[in-house]
Amino acid sequence: MIDKKKIEAGVKLLLEGMGEEVNREGLIETPQRIARMYEEIFGGLGQTPEKHLSKTFSVNDNNMVLEKDIVFYSTCEHHLLPFYGKAHVAYIPDGKVVGLSKLARTVEVYAKRPQLQEQLTAQIADALMEYLKPQGAMVVIEAEHMCMTMRGIKKPGAQTVTCVTRGVFAENEKLQNTFWHMLER
Active site amino acids:
76-79, 117, 145, 147
Residues 6+ apart with CB under 8 A from 76: 82, 83, 114, 115, 116, 145, 146, 147
CA gap 85, 161 in Å, rounded: 10
Distant-in-sequence, close-in-space partners of 69: CB < 8 Å, separation ≥ 6: 86, 88
| Residue 79 DSSP one-character state | T
Degrees (nearest 5) of the Cα angle 79, 85, 88? 125
